[in-house]
């Protein structure tokens, strides 16, 4: 794979290698919690870890961070694996933090025996108060120094006994915790005797009811990295101030390898949200059709929309790896999608807003099968036959009764080319009682068959079209930004972030497509000439063709119309 990318994390890996750390090995991992489906932001995370392992001849593993049975489900582990595979990522092994519960438990006893952990009977509110959690005072937020828990000085023997009874299920949920004995005055709140175990009776998706105490993230994460032999443990900036704790735990344990946590800024995209909490609300609130709604930034949403794995990877790569927190313009994602789709998508003609065009001097009942190029970017894609006949459909917006000067398309008396077919000249227009155009009447020049005029005359426009008698009906789902503003988390006074939803993020059009579309398979991608990239939706059936617009073509004409002047 061609990837000369470099960034501060790769610099660290390179330097560690140069210094001979970790016996010259590189091992990375990606540790999702199986509590939802993954999105582009996650893709940045695992692509980074995966590609680093590849570039440095190392190992990449997938590990599910399943330490909270209350939120996790098998459905999501399956979904995450499926989505990662689709993006083209693979791994040496799939691990589960829950497989380390016994080891973690033993290590916890080790800490207790060393006087480094204790069982605490404080309630969550009390823990928070003793910790010196920030409070508001005189309009100012202040942080108080922490106070020792009254249970902090229990003997190792008593702690061990209590901890074993916790595991044995002798106490109710939430009654006690095991806490690390670090420093209640530490400026980093994470170091003020963090909780290592909580009592929680919930059925774990893999462990069933084997446990009623569960390790917290902090007590499980670094240890899992160490057990697996991870050398470089990447995560997002949100975990920066957990690093001292990550290191502290590792310092107490008899481990053979020493993982290093490195944080990077997460990927945010304009006009969408990338937070499982918000995405879940969109799904559960019915604002989208599901986790795979084509407007969702989830990998399955993007897949259904027709985005290509290559395009997504190129996009993620282009955004770089830094510690700054930015919002990347969604136009960059679209750019990489168009770039990939342009060279790979077969072209097809489809009309999204059809209006009848009758070629008055073309023989009734006659059909010609004309040659059309499948992909001008790829000669090996070959050609296909497209039927031409007397009655056609063209795009309603390609005709104007009274065109402005810059409008090159069809108008009364004007001649244009029908792609791969003939030059036609508009000779008449039929309107209904409301002035709505119901039929455009043209004559064609038989000498221009294929689209070239032997006399060398030029036309200013080439239109796409379909033969009415041969057309397949299309339900075209046209997507726009899910949210109207760049950053949907910015909420106007008196509103919620849901008020930022774009009411026209989905528009359904009833179109007409060339007959080859009848044989399309779900997920198959096309370029509808002059309109955009589309793919077949799984909602399609034998008598219904449903397509999703992945992304439109760049349209400088529409743009110039949108901003007159």
Partner RNA sequence: UAGGGCGUAGCCAAGCGGAAAGGCAGCGGCCUUUGGAGCCGCCAUUCGGAGGUUCGAAUCCUCCCGCCCUAACCA
Task: List Cα–Cα distances, 138 to 129, 135, 141, 142, 425, in angstroms.
Answer: 18, 10, 8, 10, 79
Active site residue 276: yes
Which of residues 237 and 507 has its CB atom nearest to RNA in the complex?
A: 237
Which residue stretch of 47-55, 63-71, 85-93, 304-312 sits at the interface with RNA (rule: CB under 7 A)? 63-71
From residue 466 to residue 505, what is the string marking binding to RNA with x (rule CB under 7 A)? ----------------------------------------
Give the shortest CB-185-to-RNA separation in angstroms.
10
CA-to-CA distance for 98 and 134, rounded, in angstroms?
33
Give the footprint of RNA on residues 396-415 (CB under 7 A): 406-409
Among 92, 165, 323, 544, binds RNA (CB under 7 A): 323
Cβ distance 198 to 70 under 8 Å? Answer: no
Which of residues 405 and 541 has its CB atom nearest to RNA in the complex?
A: 405
Give the shortest CB-389-to-RNA separation in angstroms.
18
The residues near 451 (Cβ < 8 Å, ≥ 6 apart) are: 417, 418, 419, 420, 421, 422, 423, 462
Give the footprint of RNA on residues 342-401 (CB under 7 A): 342, 347, 375-377
Q: Are strands 327-328 and 268-269 parallel, antiparallel or unpaired?
A: parallel
The residues that bridge with 368 in the sheet, in sequence order, are 388
Give the shortest CB-320-to-RNA separation in angstroms.
3
Q: Which of 29, 63, 276, 525 is catalytic?
A: 276
Give the footprint of RNA on residues 112-131 (CB under 7 A): 122-124, 127-128, 131
How many residues bind RNA, per CB under 7 A? 93
Q: Rule CB under 7 A: is residue 94 a binding residue for RNA?
A: no
Cβ distance 145 to 132 under 8 Å? Answer: yes
Which of residues 10 and 295 has its CB atom nearest to RNA in the complex?
A: 10
Cβ distance 38 to 64 under 8 Å? Answer: no
Which of residues 452 and 538 has its CB atom nearest to RNA in the complex?
A: 452
The residues near 212 (Cβ < 8 Å, ≥ 6 apart) are: 166, 167, 169, 173, 199, 200, 201
Give the shortest CB-28-to-RNA separation in angstroms.
17
Among 114, 142, 168, 510, binds RNA (CB under 7 A): 142
Find where tokens 């057990």 sit. Answer: 227
Which of residues 293 and 440 has its CB atom nearest to RNA in the complex?
A: 440
Among 168, 210, 318, 401, binds RNA (CB under 7 A): 318
Q: Up-side HSE of residue 366: CA atoms within 13 Å toward CB? A: 9
Among 530, 540, 545, 549, binds RNA (CB under 7 A): 530
CA-to-CA distance for 232 and 280, rounded, in angstroms?
31
Instruction: Write down the H helix ranges in 290-442.
Output: 299-305, 309-319, 330-344
What residues are labeled active site?
A: 33, 266, 276
């Amino acid at each position: 794979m061609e990837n000369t990318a470099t960034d501060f994390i790769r610099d660290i890996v390179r330097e560690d290698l140069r210094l001979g750390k970790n016996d010259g090995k590189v091992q990375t991992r990606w540790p999702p919690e199986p509590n939802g489906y993954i999105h582009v932001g996650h893709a940045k995370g695992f692509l980074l870890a995966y590609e680093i392992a590849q570039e440095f001849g190392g190992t990449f593993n997938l590990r599910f961070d399943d330490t909270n049975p209350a939120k996790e489900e098998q459905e999501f582990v399956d979904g995450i694996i499926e989505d990662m595979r689709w993006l083209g990522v693979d791994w040496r092994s799939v691990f589960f933090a829950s497989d380390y519960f016994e080891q973690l438990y033993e290590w916890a006893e080790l800490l207790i025996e060393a006087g480094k952990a204790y069982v605490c009977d404080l309630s969550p509110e009390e823990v928070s108060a003793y910790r010196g959690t920030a409070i508001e005072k005189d309009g100012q937020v202040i942080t108080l120094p922490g106070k020792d828990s009254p249970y902090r000085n229990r003997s190792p023997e008593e702690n061990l006994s209590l901890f074993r009874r916790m595991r044995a299920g002798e106490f109710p949920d939430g009654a006690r915790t095991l806490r690390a004995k670090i420093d209640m005055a530490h400026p980093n709140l994470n170091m003020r005797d963090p909780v290592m175990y909580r009592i929680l009776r919930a059925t774990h998706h893999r462990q069933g009811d084997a446990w009623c105490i569960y390790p917290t993230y902090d007590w499980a994460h670094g240890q899992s990295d160490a057990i697996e032999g991870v050398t470089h443990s990447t995560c997002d900036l949100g975990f920066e101030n957990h690093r001292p704790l990550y290191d502290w735990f590792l310092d107490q344990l008899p481990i053979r390898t020493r993982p290093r946590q490195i944080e990077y800024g997460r990927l945010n995209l304009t006009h969408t949200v990338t937070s499982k909490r918000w995405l879940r609300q969109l799904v559960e609130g019915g604002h989208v059709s599901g986790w795979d709604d084509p407007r969702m930034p989830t990998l399955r949403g993007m897949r259904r929309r027709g985005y290509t794995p290559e395009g997504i990877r190129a996009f993620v790569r282009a955004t770089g790896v830094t510690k700054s927190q930015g919002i990347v313009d969604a136009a960059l994602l679209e750019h990489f999608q168009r770039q990939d789709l342009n060279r790979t998508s077969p072209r097809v003609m489809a009309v999204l807003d059809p209006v009848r065009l009758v070629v008055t001097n073309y023989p009734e009942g006659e059909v010609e099968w004309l040659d059309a190029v499948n992909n001008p970017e790829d000669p090996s894609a070959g050609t296909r036959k497209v039927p031409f006949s007397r009655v056609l459909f063209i795009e309603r917006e390609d005709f104007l009764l009274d065109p402005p000067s810059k409008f090159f398309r069809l108008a009364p008396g004007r001649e244009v080319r029908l792609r791969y077919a003939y030059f036609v000249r508009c000779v008449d227009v039929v309107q209904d009682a409301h002035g709505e155009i119901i039929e455009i009447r043209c004559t064609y020049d038989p000498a221009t068959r294929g689209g070239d005029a032997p006399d060398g005359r030029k036309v200013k426009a080439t239109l796409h079209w379909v033969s009415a008698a041969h057309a397949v009906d299309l339900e075209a789902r046209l997507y726009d930004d899910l949210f109207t503003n760049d950053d949907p988390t910015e909420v106007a006074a008196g509103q919620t972030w849901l008020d930022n939803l774009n009411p026209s993020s989905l528009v359904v059009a009833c179109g007409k497509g060339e007959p080859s579309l009848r044989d399309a398979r779900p997920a198959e991608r096309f370029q509808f000439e002059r309109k955009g990239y589309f793919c077949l939706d799984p909602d399609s059936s034998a008598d219904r063709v449903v397509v999703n617009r992945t992304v439109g073509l760049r349209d400088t004409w529409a743009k110039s119309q949108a901003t007159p002047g």
